[in-house]
Amino acid sequence: MATSTALSTTEAQRRRARRLTGEVLASWLFLLPAGLLLLAFVFYPLFYLLYVSLLHWNLIGRARFVGLANYSSLLQSVYFWQAVWNTVWMTAGTLVITLPLAFFTAQFVHLELNRRLSGLYRSAAFAPYVFPLVASGVVWNLMLQKQGIANWALSLLHLAGPHWLSQGVWPLVSIILVTTWQFFGYYTVIFLSGLQGVPPTLYEAAAIDGASAWTRLTRITLPMISPTLFFATVILVLQGFQTFTQAYVMTSGGPNGATTTLVYYLYQEAFQFFNIGRAGAVSVMLLILLVAITLVQFWLSRRWVNYDQL
């Protein structure tokens, strides 16, 4: 009796082991297609980029291994650091303008949400985001010429229009304004989704307690949508550091490199000077910079992002 019981227990354990093995194999088979795609289109290009950044190569001749020489020359290049600071200022300016504008636009749309024109407001705000960047850049390039529509409108107010695309800080300001116009509708929709998740009962309780509009904004709205604000900040910074099309179409990185961004500088190294190794080094340094900035943002988010209500 005891022997038959032991045999049945052993057989049950074997069946269980075979079933678990089959489940593990099935799980790996389901993961295999995604894993192969990840390996082919993410990890292989990344490691190949690291390898290329250690070469001196012009796409035609024989590649020559130079170690960290590309990185050393970049760190000593005035043009590289100019591109870095242009990108930082462009990202900071876009961030400072876009997020408040998108937030208050979302507030307005949220207040008008149950009215007849709410759909029109949302469509009008989101429309610039769906326009092709190249087409938008061409149109804004025409509008911001010295004799363009922008200066004509300023002349109606008896104001002298600047050289938007060719003088002083105005080319950088122009790209910041165009980037803000292009992307603020997307962030308006993001903020709108966050505002719709705030319970109306909180505002009703605050109104009963006599809280002012500023108190409701700082003590209810902003803490409740802080995860949304954090998401928008991270994505906007990533987009800002990858700015290329606006600089390429509107100013070609000029004048004198005043609007050359990191990605535009990468483009110049790769496809104008055919210095593929140096371009690879720029890509790696951009990746490291973005990872570092994102990690700092996540670390700082512990102090102000509130997930308790979710």
- The confidence score (pLDDT) of residue 18 equals 72
pLDDT over 60 at 160, yes or no: yes
Can you give the pTM of this predicted structure?
0.87
Query: Given CA atoms 74, 90, 128, 192 in this order, what sign does their dihedral have?
Result: positive
- The confidence score (pLDDT) of residue 310 equals 46
pLDDT tens digit string along 8-49?
667 666 777 777 777 778 888 888 898 999 999 989 999 999
- The confidence score (pLDDT) of residue 4 equals 56
- The confidence score (pLDDT) of residue 116 equals 62
> Mean pLDDT over residues 81-94, rounded?
95
Tell which residue, 296, 257, 300, 271, has the closest CA to residue 84.
Answer: 257
- The confidence score (pLDDT) of residue 61 equals 83
The residue assigned the tokens 């949302």 is: 122
> Mean pLDDT over residues 90-103, rounded?
94
> Mean pLDDT over residues 291-308, rounded?
90
pLDDT tens digit string along 136-151?
999 999 999 888 898 8
pLDDT tens digit string along 181-226?
999 999 998 998 888 888 888 888 888 888 888 898 888 888 999 9
User: Which residues, listed in sequence order, are joined to residue 65 by a DSSP beta bridge?
Assistant: 55
> Mean pLDDT over residues 269-277, rounded?
92
pLDDT over 80 at 256, yes or no: yes
- The confidence score (pLDDT) of residue 26 equals 82
User: Residue 83 belongs to what H/E stretch?
Assistant: helix 78-111
Q: What is the overall mean pLDDT for the chain?
A: 88
pLDDT tens digit string along 219-254?
888 899 999 999 999 999 999 999 999 999 999 988
- The confidence score (pLDDT) of residue 231 equals 95
pLDDT over 90 at 94, yes or no: yes
What type of residue is 244? F
pLDDT over 50 at 120, yes or no: yes
- The confidence score (pLDDT) of residue 117 equals 66
Distance between CA atoms of residues 84 and 34, nearest Å = 35
Most confident of the ranges 3-17, 43-57, 100-114: 43-57
- 3-class DSSP string for 110-122: HHCCCCCCHHHHH
> Mean pLDDT over residues 55-84, rounded?
92
Cβ of 223: how many Cβ atoms within 10 Å? 16
Distance between CA atoms of residues 171 and 242, nearest Å = 18
> Mean pLDDT over residues 172-179, rounded?
93
- The confidence score (pLDDT) of residue 8 equals 61
